[in-house]
């Protein structure tokens, strides 16, 4: 099943981590639990307790799939395939990027809409599946150009742009003392490149600093808003 989803697995899948405990993840766990080592991560404690008994072939964990410390405590580096299936597209995309950044070999992401998309330099989600998209391989591949402050990569058939932009110290974002909470709802900050380090943003923990390089996914009509904030 995993091989069919990714269409290109060239290694043996043994350890699978599924984020979210919705209908899709429960169906996956029931079909994969007998053949693979499956961990399911669910943030809601009551939901995890409710379904854990019916998923006795899988290990149900209560935790935050966007928490780097939690993922490391669950040996994310040993996971062969990570599948993000929460009800939040934004969470699925951030978690997928985190998993890829941590070295997971295959990352599959479920989305319900195409309103939010994101990635970071040379990190690619292996497959995106949804009601509207059957399978899109290598959707998130961003090539950083050292000669440009802004680099836009269009995603075919999705009406989504990947925007790479430098946070100008004199921009409106800093003059107005904005925070991540003030970013428009219809954009998604996928990654921050600071002093050679990649940061996967978290609203509660992350900040944008002057001269950070930002990777943002947005609808084309939102481009002017972001340029107005950071240029």
162 vs 49, 140, 158, 189, 224, CA distance in Å? 38, 9, 11, 10, 14
Residue 88 phi, psi dihedral angles, 5° rounding: -105, 115
Query: What is the CATH code for 150-230?
Result: 3.30.70.1450
Label residue 37 exposed, middle or buried (CB < 10 Å: 0-12, 13-18, 19+): middle
What does the pLDDT read at residue 70?
92
Q: Which fold has domain 2-130?
A: Rossmann fold (3.40.50)
147 sits in the region (left: phi over 0; alpha: psi -120 to 50; else beta) called alpha
User: Mean pLDDT in runs of 10 for the chain (231 residues)?
Assistant: 44 84 82 85 93 89 91 91 86 85 82 53 55 34 30 48 84 92 80 79 79 82 86 87
Annotated domain spans of the chain: 2-130, 150-230
Its pTM surpasses 0.85? no
């Amino acid at each position: 099943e995993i091989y069919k989803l990714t269409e290109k697995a060239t290694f043996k899948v043994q350890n699978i981590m599924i984020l979210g405990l919705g209908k899709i993840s429960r169906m996956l766990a029931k079909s994969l639990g007998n053949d693979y080592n499956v961990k399911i991560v669910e943030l809601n404690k009551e939901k995890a307790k409710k379904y854990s008994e019916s998923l006795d072939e899988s290990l149900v964990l209560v935790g935050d799939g966007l928490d780097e410390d939690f993922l490391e405590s669950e040996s994310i580096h040993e996971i062969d395939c990570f599948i993000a299936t929460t009800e939040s597209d934004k969470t699925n995309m951030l978690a997928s990027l985190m998993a890829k950044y941590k070295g997971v070999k295959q990352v599959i992401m479920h989305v319900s809409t195409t309103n939010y998309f994101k990635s970071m330099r040379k990190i690619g989600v292996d497959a995106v599946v949804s009601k509207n998209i059957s399978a899109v391989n290598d959707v998130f591949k961003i090539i950083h150009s050292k000669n440009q402050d802004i680099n836009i990569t269009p995603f075919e058939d999705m009406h989504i742009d990947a925007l790479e932009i430098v946070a100008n110290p004199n921009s409106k974002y800093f003059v107005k003392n904005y925070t991540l909470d003030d970013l428009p709802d219809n954009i998604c900050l996928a990654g921050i490149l600071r002093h050679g380090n990649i940061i996967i943003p978290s609203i509660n923990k992350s900040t944008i600093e002057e001269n950070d390089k930002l990777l943002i996914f947005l609808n084309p009509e939102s481009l002017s808003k972001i340029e107005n904030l950071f240029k």
